[in-house]
């Protein structure tokens, strides 16, 4: 079963803050590719919680221009790592749940989140989903990957939701895609 590769910096970050990092290993290549496949290159993309950059690398490989991609990561060590790994990438250090405060008014074609949202109370998740949908261009999508087979966000009628499972991940991961109906 293909799985994420062990990375010492990731393991260290996990030990330092298990609740925030949420996983001892980064996303594996199959998952990272499947997440990136949800994004159509050609427009601004925001990645929240990039960690060591597994999904970032897949987004760039998918054809997202480096200049179109902004990432927001909380852990300073990951930010340093990302700046070395992807020179020229816009790496913002801060709380991605409050991303509009870091970015100002912007519209994204896609927002991709690997944030550990299940640890948040339901109300905070609802606020975050609305915030993400509110920062999308009219044809934009919000992608969240999560182990939960149920939507990690409460959804309403004016939101379209799609899910698919990446079986080649241990345990299988759900990729959730939200857009305004
Ligand atoms: C499960 S890891 C996913 C890492 C990476 N996206 C991957 O797929 O390998 C969660 C990441 O979100 C970051 N994170 C958690 N809470 C955050 C927050 N409030 N703001 C920014 N980053 C956060 C963690 O530091 C960690 O890098």
What does DSSP assign to residue 3? -
Q: Are strands 136-146 and 108-113 parallel, antiparallel or unpaired?
A: parallel
Contact in structure between 57 and 79 (CB atoms under 8 Å): no
Q: What is the pLDDT of residues 119-141, one digit of tens each?
A: 999 999 999 999 999 999 999 99
Residue 132 within a domain: yes
CB atoms within 10 A of CB 13: 24
CA 49–ligand 1 middle distance (angstroms): 3
Kindly state if the Cβ of 21 falls inside 6 Å of ligand 1: yes
Q: Using one digit for the tens of pLDDT, what is the confidence trace for 77-117?
A: 999 999 999 999 999 999 999 999 999 878 999 999 999 99
Query: Residue 85: inside a domain, yes or no?
Result: yes
DSSP H helices, the chain, are: 8-16, 18-21, 29-36, 54-62, 76-85, 99-103, 122-134
pLDDT at 1: 45
Residue 52 CA to ligand 1 centre (angstroms): 9
CATH code at position 44: 3.40.50.150
- Kindly state whether residue 4 falls inside one of the protein's structural domains: no
Q: Ligand 1: which atom is nearest the Cα of residue 97?
A: 19
- Sign, CA dihedral 163-166-172-177, equals negative
DSSP symbols for 77-124: HHHHHHHHHSTT-EEEES-GGGHHHHH-S--EEEEEE---GGGS-HHH
Q: Which atom of ligand 1 is closest in space to residue 72's alpha carbon?
A: 21
Is 97 domain-assigned?
Answer: yes
Is 143 among the domain residues? yes
Distance 78 CA to ligand 1 centre (A): 9
Cβ 141 vs Cβ 175: under 8 Å:
no
Q: Is the CB of 26 under 6 A from ligand 1?
A: yes
Q: Name the residue among 118, 89, 109 with its Cα closest to residue 42.
A: 109
Number of domains in the chain: 1
Q: Is residue 155 one of the residues assigned to a domain?
A: yes
Residue nearest to atom 3 of ligand 1 (CA): 114
- Retrieve residue 59's tokens: 């987004």
Q: What range does the domain containing 45 cover?
A: 28-180
pLDDT at residue 90, as a whole number? 98
Instruction: Please indicate, yes or no, if residue 21 is contained in any of the structural domains.
Output: no
Q: Does some domain include residue 34?
A: yes
């Amino acid at each position: 079963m293909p799985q994420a590769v062990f990375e010492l910096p990731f393991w260290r970050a996990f030990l330092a803050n298990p609740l925030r990092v949420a996983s001892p290993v980064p996303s594996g290549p199959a998952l990272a590719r499947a997440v990136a496949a949800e994004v159509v290159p050609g427009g601004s993309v925001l990645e929240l919680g990039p960690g060591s950059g597994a999904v970032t690398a897949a987004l760039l490989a998918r054809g997202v221009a480096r200049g179109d991609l902004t990432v927001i990561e909380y852990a300073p060590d990951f930010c340093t790592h990302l700046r070395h790994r992807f020179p020229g990438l816009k790496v913002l250090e801060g709380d991605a749940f409050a991303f509009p405060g870091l970015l100002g008014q912007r519209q994204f074609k896609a927002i991709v989140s690997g944030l550990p949202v299940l640890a948040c109370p339901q109300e905070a998740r609802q606020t975050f989903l609305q915030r993400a949908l509110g920062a999308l261009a009219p044809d934009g999508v919000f992608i969240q990957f999560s182990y939960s087979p149920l939507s990690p966000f409460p959804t309403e009628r004016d939101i379209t939701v799609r899910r698919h499972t990446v079986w080649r991940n241990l345990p299988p991961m759900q990729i959730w895609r939200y857009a305004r109906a």
